[in-house]
């Protein structure tokens, strides 16, 4: 079974959200002292009236926790819980700690370096209520080391496909920063799964596969910071663990759903082969080999995402 999708037009509601549904904003933090203040200020500036904020820290070695507690004390009107875990247990366990403390109808999970737009939560809740959806996916804008509008065109087309779960396996791009999820769905399905220490984004695939209803909001709700210290952008142990888990996830689901000779499955296998040459080939040669993948090139061409096609927003 794949996730049902509400038509984008169904999510429009000129009367605004019903403010009776509590939204739990779960902020996942790790060594975020330089950014968490701006993230929290974005939460406290929301126009949606019924919020709680949960900061779940994964063993930071800087002042992340003290900054969060100080700012929470300055905004007592919004319930804020700060969880200080003494050890670094990975993204998924950190996320689950925050979700376990949540009491809302909806959960909004963000990193401690992202910034919600003032109407972001109100727009997401309006879309979810209007479409009677379990998951709302929205646009988000990157900033910092990159300026681009997400989801990319390929992903937007996948969101509108009849088989959403299958589309997620066929090159689905980033969606998590712009998502809002019903907390009850996550708890019923025990998501995110402890099977993955780092790859918490797999929860969207699991919800789509199990038939939960998705809707898409064509409006930016959050600014997503891109920087060199992100797990997805560096060569740390956490980054390697994340990539390994993503590969393991796709090996199982991709082979089972798409088949071992599906073009996209072959594309991922090719990319993993090139990744396995790390240390044996110079990095520039690896990058060239990645781009020589014909399926990847075709995808980037269709998305107008090749270097000479890109336009900065």
Q: What is the pLDDT of residues 211-236, one digit of tens each?
A: 999 999 999 999 999 977 665 555 55
Which tokens belong to 229?
Answer: 């210290």
pLDDT number for residue 46:
98
Regarding pTM above 0.75, the answer is: yes
Does residue 197 register a pLDDT over 80? no
State CA 272 to chain mean position distance. 22
Does residue 275 register a pLDDT over 90? no
Rounded Cα distance between 111 and 272, Å, is 27
Does residue 70 register a pLDDT over 80? yes
Cβ atoms of 159 and 137 closer than 8 Å: yes
Does residue 94 register a pLDDT over 80? yes
Give the count of beta carbons closer than 10 Å to the beta carbon of residue 89.
14
Cβ atoms of 213 and 3 closer than 8 Å: yes
- CA of 203: how far to CAs of 86, 92, 196, in Å? 26, 10, 10
pLDDT number for residue 286:
87
Helix axes 237-257, 263-275, angle to 10 degrees: 150
Rounded Cα distance between 98 and 84, Å, is 11
Residues in the chain: 313
Q: Average pLDDT over the chain, rounded to whole?
A: 87
pLDDT number for residue 232:
54
- Split at pLDDT 50, 70, 90, the class of 1 is very low
Q: Which residue has the higher pLDDT, 121 or 200?
A: 121
Q: In sequence order, which residues have a C-beta less than 8 Å from that of residue 100 and are 6 or more positions away?
A: none
- CA of 216: how far to CAs of 9, 10, 207, 221, in Å? 9, 9, 15, 12
- Split at pLDDT 50, 70, 90, the class of 25 is very high
Helix intervals (H) in the chain: 36-44, 64-74, 91-101, 120-131, 153-159, 164-169, 183-188, 202-209, 237-257, 263-275, 283-291, 294-302
């Amino acid at each position: 079974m794949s996730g049902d999708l509400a038509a984008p037009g169904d999510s429009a509601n000129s009367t605004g959200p019903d403010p009776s549904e509590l939204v739990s904003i779960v902020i996942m933090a790790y060594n975020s002292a330089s950014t968490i203040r701006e993230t929290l200020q974005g939460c406290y500036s929301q126009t949606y009236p019924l919020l709680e904020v949960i900061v779940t820290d994964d063993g930071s070695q800087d002042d992340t926790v003290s900054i969060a507690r100080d700012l929470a004390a300055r905004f007592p009107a919004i319930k804020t819980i700060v969880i200080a875990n003494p050890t670094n247990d990975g993204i998924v366990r950190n996320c689950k700690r925050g979700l376990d403390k949540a009491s809302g109808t909806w959960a909004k999970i963000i990193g401690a370096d992202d910034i919600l737009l003032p109407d972001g939560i109100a727009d997401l809740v309006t879309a979810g209520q209007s479409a009677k959806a379990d998951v709302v996916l929205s646009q988000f804008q990157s900033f910092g080391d990159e300026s681009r509008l997400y989801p990319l065109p390929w992903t937007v087309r996948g969101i509108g496909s009849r088989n959403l779960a299958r589309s997620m396996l066929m090159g689905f791009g980033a969606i998590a920063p712009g998502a809002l999820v019903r907390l009850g769905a996550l708890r019923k399905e025990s998501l995110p799964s402890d099977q993955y220490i780092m790859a918490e984004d797999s929860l969207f695939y699991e919800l789509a596969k199990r038939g939960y209803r998705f809707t898409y909001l064509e409006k930016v709700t959050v600014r997503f910071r891109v920087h060199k210290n992100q797990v997805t952008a560096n060569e740390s142990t956490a980054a390697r663990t994340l990539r390994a888990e993503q590969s393991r996830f796709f090996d199982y689901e991709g082979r089972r759903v798409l088949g071992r000779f599906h073009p996209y499955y072959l594309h991922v296998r090719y990319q993993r082969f090139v990744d396995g040459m790390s240390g044996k080939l110079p990095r520039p040669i690896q990058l060239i080999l990645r781009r020589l993948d014909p399926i990847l090139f075709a995808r980037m061409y269709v998305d107008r995402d090749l270097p000479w096609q890109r336009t900065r927003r």
